[in-house]
Amino acid sequence: MKIAVVGTGYVGLVTGACLAKVGHTITCVDIDKNKIARLKKGIIPIYEPGLDKVVKEVIKKNKLSFDISLKNVLSEVQAVFIAVGTPARKDGKADLKYVFDVAKEVGETLAAEASRRRRQDYKVIINKSTVPVGTAKEVTNIIAKYYKGEFAVVSNPEFLKEGYAVDDFMKPDRIVVGTSSKKAKKIMQEIYKPVKGKKVFTEVQSSEMIKYASNAFLTTKISFINEIANLCELVGADVKEVSFGMGLDKRIGKSFLNAGIGYGGSCFPKDTTALNQIAGTKGYDFKLLKAVIEVNSKQRKYVIDKLEQVFGNLKNKRIAVLGLAFKNNTDDVRESASIDIIRMLTGVGARVKAYDPKANDNAKEILNSGVKITNDPYEAIKNSDALVIATEWPEFANLDFDKIKTLLKKPIIIDGRNLLNSVIIKKLGFQYYGIGRA
């Protein structure tokens, strides 16, 4: 099937490349001319393991192409995925400007095509972006304002974890599709036929809610285990042992029970806040979700509190921060706990040197020039008063800690991800602080 995917970010590019890999003919569309020019050469603008290989493979097979305008390809495709950003507004609601812009372009282009060719092709417009309940209806209304032919707007939320997105697409837990149209359902079944995984068909509103509810539940697990970690410190328990024991219960499961400095990224903070806003607009006080958001915000101050316990005033203290991405296996620094912690440190007068294996360039764009970002972890650590581990990159656990001890002014480690073996690190002579560790 010929398909267009609008947006070439994490979701759009992965969706387009993977659909091409399973046999469809895909055109990815983006208004960023430089990005499209680079993509045509097989240059990937994001770090996502395995994606570059897939993109180059399907380009070579002429299954994936790129364009700067949906108008150039819309007449040739049967389905259009909308995979543009829905960033949070200041009030916490999802900003749907880019989604609506695509809808308007679809409507205008379909109307122009129908007028010129005197025929109307059935199209399925698929919301892949994370959007509030009711968005499909709004997109339908926008398109219908311009185009009077037959079409359907479908909800098909993404469940891709950055760092594992290709595997998540090819081997999904479930594929959720929201539509009441039998015709659209048949097309969606054809699109996903080559992808093995449970196909769940629902009403549109349910599909839109499934995405938000899923992410909110996961953030609830994270904030819960972080609260347990804080309590563990007070009672002398070890949260790693506690979470392991909890996770053996099949009703609970071990996923998302790693205590740390809080969740981040492009989805969890935005989607959790947006769901809370949705509840508010309907007059519902979502107390649990408010607490989840509050806990996550407070958890990021843990590192500052620990450092102040050790040093008192942090002014002019040199702090090394390892990790800038919001999690390992990605270069994404959006809503990164590490970035927030660095800003808090510089806010109280500390001097920060930082390092990340993949996210240095992205971090430089949003951090002030007073933060020194190095290309080597040991350079960041050299002559620092303390070391903070802010992202769970496995390579950080395999650093030479005998060398690190000689580089630090004081052998102090704040392990914000409980990445290190605390027993071994303490035996090496470090003053070690984990999250919820006895």
CA–CA distance, 162 with 438 (Å, rounded to integer): 32
Least confident of 40-49, 72-81, 399-408: 40-49
Indicate whether 200 pLDDT > 80: yes
**pLDDT mean over 261-273:** 92
State yes or no: is 232 an active-site residue. no
- Supply the pLDDT for residue 115: 79
**pLDDT mean over 303-307:** 95
- Supply the pLDDT for residue 119: 62
Q: What percent of the chain has pLDDT over 70?
A: 99
SS3 223: helix
Same fold, 2-202 and 204-296: no
Phi-psi category of residue 420: left, alpha or beta, with phi > 0 → left and psi -120 to 50 → alpha: beta
CA–CA distance, 209 with 176 (Å, rounded to integer): 11
CATH level 3 topology of 300-438 = Rossmann fold (3.40.50)
Indicate whether 331 pLDDT > 70: yes
Indicate whether 24 pLDDT > 90: yes
Indicate whether 344 pLDDT > 70: yes
**pLDDT mean over 378-383:** 98
**pLDDT mean over 316-321:** 97
- Supply the pLDDT for residue 2: 97
List of residues 6+ apart from 436 with CB closer than 8 A: 226, 228, 229, 230, 231, 232, 233, 237, 238, 239, 240, 242, 259, 418
In this predicted model, what pLDDT tens digit does every residue of 25-52 receive, in sequence order?
Answer: 999 999 999 999 999 988 999 999 999 9
**Extents of the domains making up the chain:** 2-202, 204-296, 300-438
390: amino acid identity, one letter? A
CA–CA distance, 93 with 58 (Å, rounded to integer): 37
Kindly report the pTM of this predicted structure: 0.91
Catalytic residue among 18, 28, 232, 267: 267
Rg (CA), the chain: 24
- Supply the pLDDT for residue 42: 87
**pLDDT mean over 225-233:** 97
CATH code of the domain made up of 2-202: 3.40.50.720
113 — pLDDT class (breaks 50, 70, 90): confident
**pLDDT mean over 207-233:** 97
CATH number of 204-296, picked from 3.40.50.920, 3.50.50.60, 1.10.3720.10, 1.10.1040.10:
1.10.1040.10
Indicate whether 120 pLDDT > 70: no
Task: Residue 136: name the closest of 177, 171, 165 by CA.
Answer: 177
Judge whether 345 and 368 are in contact, CB under 8 Å. no
